[in-house]
Amino acid sequence: MCGMIATSNIENRAVAQVRMTPSEKPSQEIVCLVDDDPLVLRSTGLLLVSDGFAVRRFDKGEDFIAYVASHDVPLVVLDIWMEEMTGLEVLARLCAISPQTHVIVITGHEDSAARILAMQIGTVAFLIKPFDDEQFLEVVHRALGHEPAPPLRGALTM
């Protein structure tokens, strides 16, 4: 199976619609997503798409490392407990290859050792699954240096 999953037609269509919305941010920043669970990978991806991001998904840490070696990646959302290469290994290599990449760690359970390690190597946030969508997107925006929550979203979630 190919580890690097190209954005699907469905997501492309969503992205196209998002792009046409005048109230939305003009920039189409690509967020990388690494999780070995296909359901979580797709749902987190669509959550980002619903907020106007373009998403590149990986179900293997190795594939992401290969990608990041030749691409500029501003942000990666990374799962910690994966078979084969774990999130912590990905983190360690990322430090060496692309220290400017921001990292948001999502994990199935609290693990203080992993949290400390992650925070030491440039992680901006450490979220426990299942996480709150507002909080997650806010962290994503902040990691990318955006303004706080866009007005439309804030108004409707009241």
Partner 1 sequence: MSDRDKIDKESREHRETTDPSREEQLSLLQTITMEVAAAGDFSSALKVVLRRICEKTGWVFGQAWLPNQEGTVIECGPAWFCAEADLKEFRAASEESHFVPGAGIPGSVWKSKQPVWIQDVTLDGNFARIKAAAKAELKGAMGIPILSGDEVLAVIEFFVHESRAEDKQLVKVITAVAEQLDLVMDRQRAQEAVREREARISLAAESANLAFWVLYPERNTAWMSEKGRVIYGFDSKLPLTWELLVSRVHSDERAAVQAAFEQARTSHGTFESEHRIVLPDGKTRWVMMRGRCLQNEHGDLLEVIGVTIDVSAQKQSDLELQIQRDEMEHLNRVALVGEMTASVAHELNQPLTAIANNAAAARRFFDRGQIDPAILRQLLADIAAASHRAGEVINGIRGMARKGERTRSLLNLNAVIADTLRLVRSDILTRETAVVTDFDPRLPDVEAAPVQIQQVLLNLIVNALDAVEALPLAKRRLIISTRSLNGESAEVSVRDFGTGLPADRAEKVFDHFFSTKAKGMGMGLTIARSIVEAHAGTLGAENAEGGGALFFFHLPASRGLPMGKAA
Residue 15 engages partner 1 in binding (rule: CB under 8 A):
no
Sign of the CA dihedral with 1 first, then 9, 75, and 148 last: negative
Q: Which one, 21 or 120, has the nearer CB to partner 1?
A: 21
Residue 133 engages partner 1 in binding (rule: CB under 8 A):
yes
With beta carbons less than 8 A apart as the criterion, state whether 8 and 44 touch.
no
- Closest distance to partner 1 from the beta carbon of 141 (Å): 14
With beta carbons less than 8 A apart as the criterion, state whether 126 and 105 touch.
yes
For residue 106, the cross-strand partners are 79, 127
Report which of 68, 79, 91 is spatially closest to residue 45, judged by C-alpha positions: 79
Query: Binding residue for partner 1 (CB under 8 A) from 6, 13, 71, 116?
Result: 13
Residue 62 engages partner 1 in binding (rule: CB under 8 A):
no
Chain residues that interact with partner 1, rule: CB under 8 A: 10-11, 13-14, 17-18, 21, 37, 39-40, 42-44, 46-47, 49-51, 81-83, 86, 106, 108-109, 111, 129-131, 133, 152-153, 156
